[in-house]
Amino acid sequence: MAFASDAPKDGFRLSMLIYDTRYRSYTIQIVVLVLFAMAVAWLLNNTAQNLAARGKEFNFAFLWQRAGYDIGQALIPYTNDDNHFRALLVGLVNTLVVAFCGCLFATVLGGIIGVLRLSNNWLIGRLMTIYVEVFRNVPLLLWILLSYVILSETTPQPRDFRVTDEMIAAGEEPAASMILFGTVAVTNRGTNIPAPLFERSLGSVQIGFLPVSLNLLAFILVIVASVWANRRLLAHAKAVQEATGDRPVTWWKSLLILFGPVLALKFALGLHLEIPELKGFNFAGGILVAHSFTALTIALALYTAAFIAEIVRSGILAISRGQTEAAYALGLRPNRTMSLIILPQALRVIIPPLISQYLNLTKNTSLGIAVSYLDLRGTLGGITLNQTGRELECMLLMMLIYLSISLIISALMNLYNSSVQLKAR
């Protein structure tokens, strides 16, 4: 037993801060923290000095001043007498609406293209590949600008719809006419779609600063109720299937439950459509969907669809052929195999990257600036910033809002991910 070891030394030496694993990480972290704090302090100090030099102060009171400008597309009530905060909300709603519609169309389109790319039809497969490659490899901005130009260049002016007495006398047709049974007019300013109107109204209530129509509420309630009833019906069908092995036919009952009450309510309230009509310079009545919105939605959807198509394709390919074969060998038909075996598994692979595409799309809505769509960036980060000169506040607020949207979406994604995790050893 002749080993020479230094007697274990106790006590603290300064070098332990760096060489002792226990303290080392604290040392590093404290250094980092101090550096970080110094950097933050430096930035704040600079900001304060700069603000002082420009005679500005940092506060958000300007949000409650009169905005004074008009917004073409306002989905919540807004006039130029409202304050900047309200304008911000209008912009936020516009952002969310574009994001929502974009995601919806992109998913549908991307899903179809992804599946078609896998089809054994050579021509379609090639076309879809070209689509995906072209849209993925060209900047989104180009698609936005292009779809805007196409929309406004290829559509007729409102006056082309005009029918004058002379024309009737001469038996001439107007240069353009409304589509979808004369209910929708596509002009070079936007798409005029019919608006729902009620003969008998239930009135409306004020919730916070938003008036909510009771009619709308009634419809939502009825729809929710029918959906619930339909789910009961399906659950019942499933129970019957489990008990007897045979699944009762449900589709006509479903249809009845889903659409019956809504139709009944429609007649009860006397819902009818207000068809847009050419009056003066423009179509009046109905709802005007501006081309900036349409173009942005289309471009975002087309662009993102290319990415989603790839996700869908690789998601389906990720499910090994063995799964299909096993299902076939058990006697399952192709469509059942798809719905019971492939899709449930593919969705787990598809959904996480899909959601991050949604996130990208939502962030990309800020490119609405290219077509002057008044979204959050256009109102808060555009006109409000410009009129009030509060770039620091406006930009920070805007980033904060975008960040919150992103974080909420990714939190949902994590929730989903952990709930569908495949069980493994």
Contacts of another protein in 250-309 (CB under 8 A): 279-282, 284, 288, 290-292
Of the candidate residues 11, 14, 22, 251, the single one contacting another protein (CB under 8 A):
22
CA distances from 157 to 142, 175, 251, 340, 375 (A): 24, 9, 45, 51, 25
Cβ-based neighbours of 95, under 8 Å, separated by 6 or more: 362, 365, 366, 368, 375, 376, 377
Query: What region, left, alpha or beta, does residue 213 occupy, with left being phi > 0 and alpha being psi -120 to 50 degrees?
Result: beta
CA distances from 5 to 8, 9, 55, 63, 324 (A): 8, 11, 69, 72, 66
* Strand residue runs (E) in 309-425: none
Helix (H) or strand (E) holding 39: helix 21-53
Q: Are 115 and 97 in contact (CB under 8 A)?
A: no
**Which residues within the stretch 40-59 sit at the binding site for another protein (CB under 8 A)?**
43, 46-47, 49-51, 53-56
**Which residues within the stretch 116-135 sit at the binding site for another protein (CB under 8 A)?**
116, 119-124, 127, 133-134
Helix 84-118 vs helix 343-364: crossing angle, to nearest 10: 140
Of the candidate residues 164, 177, 372, 414, the single one contacting another protein (CB under 8 A):
372
> Residue length, the chain?
425
Residue 74 CB: number of other CB atoms within 10 A?
A: 19
Closest separation in Å from C-beta 264 to another protein: 36
The vertex-224 CA angle with 221 and 230, nearest 5°, equals 140
Closest separation in Å from C-beta 200 to another protein: 28
DSSP state of 58: -
Of the candidate residues 300, 316, 383, 413, the single one contacting another protein (CB under 8 A):
383
* Distance from C-alpha of 311 to C-alpha of 351, rounded to nearest angstrom: 9
In this chain, which stretch among 63-71, 101-109, 171-179, 294-302 interacts with another protein, using CB under 8 A?
Answer: 63-71
**How crowded is the C-beta side of 341, counted as CA atoms within 13 Å?**
21
**Which residues within the stretch 167-186 sit at the binding site for another protein (CB under 8 A)?**
none
Query: Between residues 82 and 269, which has the closer beta carbon with respect to another protein?
Result: 82
Of the candidate residues 152, 183, 213, 230, the single one contacting another protein (CB under 8 A):
152
Of the candidate residues 59, 137, 206, 418, the single one contacting another protein (CB under 8 A):
137
Of the candidate residues 338, 395, 416, 417, the single one contacting another protein (CB under 8 A):
395
**Which residues within the stretch 183-202 sit at the binding site for another protein (CB under 8 A)?**
188-189
Q: Are 378 and 368 in contact (CB under 8 A)?
A: yes
Binding of another protein at residue 248 (CB under 8 A)? no
Size of the site for another protein (CB under 8 A): 128
Closest separation in Å from C-beta 41 to another protein: 12
Of the candidate residues 318, 391, 411, 412, the single one contacting another protein (CB under 8 A):
391
Please list the residues that pair with 66 across neighbouring strands.
83
Closest separation in Å from C-beta 399 to another protein: 5
**Which residues within the stretch 83-112 sit at the binding site for another protein (CB under 8 A)?**
none
Binding of another protein at residue 384 (CB under 8 A)? no
Binding of another protein at residue 69 (CB under 8 A)? yes
Query: Between residues 194 and 215, which has the closer beta carbon with respect to another protein?
Result: 194
**Which residues within the stretch 200-239 sit at the binding site for another protein (CB under 8 A)?**
none
Q: Are 102 and 297 in contact (CB under 8 A)?
A: yes
Binding of another protein at residue 162 (CB under 8 A)? no
Query: Between residues 8 and 203, which has the closer beta carbon with respect to another protein?
Result: 8
* Distance from C-alpha of 144 to C-alpha of 298, rounded to nearest angstrom: 8
Closest separation in Å from C-beta 221 to another protein: 34
Query: Between residues 126 and 272, which has the closer beta carbon with respect to another protein?
Result: 126
Binding of another protein at residue 318 (CB under 8 A)? no
Q: Which residues of 402-425 are buried (b: 16+ CB within 10 A; e: fewer)?
A: beebeeeebeebeeeeeeeeeeee
